[in-house]
Amino acid sequence: MRRPLAILAAALLAGCTLGPDFKPPEGPKPAAYLPDGPMAFVAGGIEGGEAQRIVQDLDIPGQWWMVFQSAELNGLIDQALRANPDIRAAAAGLKMARENARAQRATLFPTLQSNFGAAANQVPNFLSAPTADPNNYNYSLFTLGLTLSYNLDLWGANRRQIESLEALAEAQCFQLEGAYLSLASNVVAAAILEASLRAQLAATERIIATQRDTLDILNRQSGLGAITGADIAAQQAALAQVEATLPPLQKALAQQRNLLAALTGRFTDQALLERFRLSELRLPQELPLSLPSKMVEQRPDVRAAEANLHSASALVGVATANQFPNITLNASIATQALTLGTLFGPALPASVAAGNVLQTLLDGGALSAKKRAAQAGLEQADAQYRSTVLTAFRNVADTLRAIEYDALSLRAAAAAEQATLTSLTIARRRLELGDTTYVFVLTAELAYQQALLNRVQAQAARFTDTAALFQALGGGWWNRDAAMDRANRLRCRPPTTTVSQR
């Protein structure tokens, strides 16, 4: 009988793991992000509006924001990554998730506990002696023992729970990567918007100066009796309208400065030394574009959704295993003495070896309901994963269209600015010579004002679109310098394949 019993014991110790074994979702079937062929991005016709092109095999650098070639921007993002409290919170969440997984992993091993007890007892003397005595019998009892317990985990409930917690830790890791990516993207977007606002302020101030010059011309002509007071009043009204647009721009710029301070972990009373201008940013001419199957491995939100799906799959196994008997082995050894001095004497200790089988027979359907809830949670996680993938595809497609059409908008805006500036210059010269009316000049000024602001906004959109593409493709976290990862966490599981860097 020894051989069958040994086989049975080995089977009990090895156990089995119930529930579905997780398989990563299949990669997306689309081979492209857009239905039409490769796009050609036109040049804007100005500095900072160079033509860009897609490079399919170009990898994303870990510090992708360096493509804008701004030392101030690089330094500000480094400060943000070190000091932003959201990053610290996400890093602490990752540590907590990993420690929870380690704690659950310890359930695979036996638990050894020691216990020590001391008690003072008082019993009637007649219970311990044949003769009655009104006095009581007092004594002390000291107990020292060890208890060893082990859960066989015959059906894999603990192992599935470990699997679920490790998947949650992986999801938290990618949430931290997403926090890094979002923070860097927010700093870049805020810096570009600040540069745009500075350019719009400068353009508005030039327009105000031009309007004042026109008003001076009209005042001189009014002194000569060439124009009426109505023309001067109209010009004064136009100047006041332009001046009224200045405070909102100044307010928006001040708020952007406050945002940059908060993103870098500073209070708003601490002045930022960095000043961003569109002329100091460089537009990269080569843009990466990962294959769709590669993009879903690079996006932190997609990887986090996949890890959550893995966790939900493991929880189905936990709920299934909980419906089967739970077997626990226990062994204890203890010694007792009336004094501390004799507690460690040669007396033989008492020992107990036992096994416990616990099976739920009647619970009102609670375990079945928990299993169905876990299966519904798996379906929910699967749907959320697919929704995240669809959102990722839409982000990339939207960004590619934005790069395409914003390039066209910049080219048209730059041409309109040049044309309206030429028209305004001619109109002002004719006004000085008395060859045209004030209405003609005012119309030219308004056209130039709108064209100038449109050009600034279109130029800023090119930089914003470029940053959005790097963010939509995952941000290159797998290429980041390992020194940045030592302080807070280990590197998340990188994509399975890599592409070339230039």
pLDDT of residue 131: 46
CB half-sphere exposure, 26, CA atoms < 13 A: 3
- Report the amino acid identity of residue 260: L
Q: Are 435 and 217 in contact (CB under 8 A)?
A: no
Residue 77 resides in a domain: yes
The residue segments making up the domain with residue 454 are 16-109+152-323+365-484
Q: Smallest Cα–Cα separation from 474: which of 64, 193, 90, 39?
A: 64
Residue 114 resides in a domain: no
The residue behind tokens 């936990």 is 318
Residue 29 resides in a domain: yes
Residue 481 tokens read as 């310098």
DSSP notation for 343-402: TTSSPPPEEEEEEEEE----STTHHHHHHHHHHHHHHHHHHHHHHHHHHHHHHHHHHHHH
CATH of the domain at 34: 1.20.1600.10
Give CA–CA dist 363/447, Å, rounded. 78
The residue behind tokens 């708003």 is 268
For every one of its 502 residues, what pLDDT tens digit does the chain have, with 9 covering 90 and above? 455 444 444 444 456 788 889 999 988 888 889 888 667 788 877 877 888 999 887 889 999 999 999 999 999 999 999 999 999 999 999 999 999 999 999 999 999 999 988 888 877 655 555 544 455 577 788 888 899 999 998 899 999 999 999 999 999 999 999 999 999 999 999 999 999 999 999 988 888 887 888 788 778 877 766 666 777 888 888 889 989 999 999 999 999 999 999 999 999 888 888 899 998 999 999 999 999 989 999 999 999 999 999 999 999 999 999 999 999 999 998 888 887 777 777 766 788 888 888 888 998 999 999 999 999 999 999 999 999 999 999 999 999 999 999 999 999 999 999 999 999 889 888 877 877 777 787 788 888 888 989 999 999 999 999 999 999 999 999 987 765 555 445 578 888 754 444 4
- Report the amino acid identity of residue 490: L
Strands 136-151 vs 286-288: parallel, antiparallel or unpaired: unpaired
Contacts from 318-321 at CB under 8 Å and sequence distance 24+?
A: 318/19, 318/157, 318/160, 318/161, 318/164, 318/374, 319/19, 319/367, 319/370, 319/371, 319/373, 319/374, 319/375, 320/18, 320/19, 320/155, 320/371, 321/17, 321/18, 321/19, 321/155, 321/156, 321/157, 321/160
Residue 123 resides in a domain: no
Strands 136-151 vs 111-124: parallel, antiparallel or unpaired: antiparallel
- Residues 165-189: pLDDT tens digits? 999 999 999 999 999 999 999 999 9
Give every CB contact of residue 173 below 8 A, 6+ residues apart in sequence.
94, 489, 490, 492, 493
Give CA–CA dist 467/399, Å, rounded. 9
Q: Are 396 and 35 in contact (CB under 8 A)?
A: no
The three-point CA angle 449-454-456 to 5° equals 100
pTM for this entry? 0.85
User: How many structural domains are present in the chain?
Assistant: 1
109 SS3 class: coil
Three-state secondary structure string covering 29-94: CCCCCCCCCCCCCCCCCCCCCCCCEEECCCCCCCCHHHHHCCHHHHHHHHHHHHHCHHHHHHHHHH
Residue 76 tokens read as 């500000």
Residue 132 resides in a domain: no
Give CA–CA dist 262/254, Å, rounded. 13
Residue 81 tokens read as 């990554």
Give CA–CA dist 291/80, Å, rounded. 30
pLDDT of residue 220: 80
146 SS3 class: strand
25 sits in the region (left: phi over 0; alpha: psi -120 to 50; else beta) called: beta
pLDDT of residue 485: 55
Q: Are 434 and 226 in contact (CB under 8 A)?
A: yes
Residue 382 resides in a domain: yes
The residue behind tokens 């493991």 is 314
Residue 460 resides in a domain: yes
Residue 195 resides in a domain: yes
Alpha-helix runs per DSSP H in 433-488: 438-472
CB half-sphere exposure, 77, CA atoms < 13 A: 26
